[in-house]
Structure 1
Amino acid sequence: MELIDSFILGLIQGLTEFLPISSSGHLVLGEALLGDSLDKSITFEVVVHFGTLCSIVIYYRKKLADILTSLWQLVKSPSQAKEQYVNDDNVKLSAFILLSMIPAVIVGLTLKDQIENIFLNPVMVSFMLLLTGTILYITRFRMDFPNKIGYGNAIGIGLAQAFAILPGISRSGSTISLGLYLGVKREEVANFSFLMVIPVIAGAMLFEVKDMIELGIPFNDVLGLLVGFLAAFISGYFALKYLIIMLQNKGIHPFAWYCWAVGLIGLYYFW
């Protein structure tokens, strides 16, 4: 893979992993535009996903440290688990994250290959981007957000995350949008959406790492992989930071116009 291709695909991955515009959809369209001969290996996929994983871990480093500290206290004193659950919001959050992962794990282990075989083409991705735009736009009609994350909306947001296995459906867009529909506070649902994806990305990477180890890493590809990693890491960090700020001030419905535009252009170009 050429360095410019590595940079472009890493940049696309970083920007679209967290902005509600579908990273998988943009990668499909980006690869189609760059040409069918583009050699994007499983190793490159692992590296750019690791870049976005690092960006979210760095952004939430303080919150993650608090969660790990609370969980360590839980491990050290299991007899006080009930009391700690009642008094420690980090333990509750961990339980909600674990619950939200269940739908994505089930779908990922059973239907991922079948879904990608059906939907992994530019035309279908363009239709899914139009749907993502509609999902985002409807959030503008929700004006009050009185609720907090609980068991019910955690599993609902988890179902939205599983739905986003469809290329062109934004994971952050669908999970945040559902949280807003349910009346969860904007910042809280955004933070939950991004924290809950950490174990999902990490788990998906573990499956890919196995294939990567079997294939090996050619020495000539190291520089391209580094470029892809840095592009995904840096762009992902700032995309995440920008989205949190925008969500607090305006919401996420303005991204609907972008999704609609890209979806329509995709249909025109690839149909």
Structure 2
Amino acid sequence: MLTFIGLGLFDEYDVSLKGLEAIREADLVYAEFYTSHLMGTTPEKMEKLYGKQVHLLSREDVEQQPEWLDNAKDKNIAFLTGGDTMVSTTHVDLRLRAKNLGIETRLIHGASITSAVSGLTGLQNYRFGKSASIPYPYESRRGTKVVSETPYDTIKQNSELGLHTLVFLDIDNEKGYMSVNLALELLLEVERKRGEEVMNRAVAVGIARAGSEKPLVKADYAENLKNFDFGKPLHILVVPGKLHFLEAEALVKLAAGPEEIMENIE
């Protein structure tokens, strides 16, 4: 049996009681934290609460050579991830591999950033369009910096439909956790290059440390927000589209947004 368990948003205490019970009943416990990361805890703290050793897996262990998966043929294996399990396509692929090996699987869900964002900002979840991910720039063979324009395109398409965009920020082993500030700078860089005005006067919302006792939520125009200090990771970005009057009020009162936001309502 292979049980996929979502651990929630911030620390070891976010796991559900059902998930905690499954971990404690498992023969072996594995975890990956490259798709997401619980910033409020450590593997040692997790092991203390769970009463189990947690074997950390690399991207290669999960995506390329999941040799550990064979253990689930005759053992009870728990596979832990941040957030909600199966949100990442990597985990869907792993579940399919298990199925192909004749391994029974089950899912125990956890709190997800995709639903937490709506609660923290007051933006209605059914008004979100396609999400986007901003990767770190990379160097081309010519030594020039390459900034992906795909997330900008996604925001532009959603904006034209009046929809909000949830923007995931890159996690890199060497470069670390991308900040809201860098994400906005990259989007505005693409905009200047194209001579367009999607982000120029757009309202954006930055969220830091969702799931903690004191998450930070700040709304402002993108040009202003890029200079705001969001502090420690994890960060995530939202670019709202057209706003319902309740959403606009929420951004002003719950996210310390400028009063002018109230003018951008349907």
TM-score relative to the length of structure 2:
0.24
Q: Which is richer in strand?
A: 2
Of structures 1 and 2, the one scoring higher in RCO (CA 8 A, sep 6+) is 1
TM-score relative to the length of structure 1:
0.24
- Between Structure 1 and Structure 2, whose CA radius of gyration is higher? 2
Q: Which is richer in helix?
A: 1
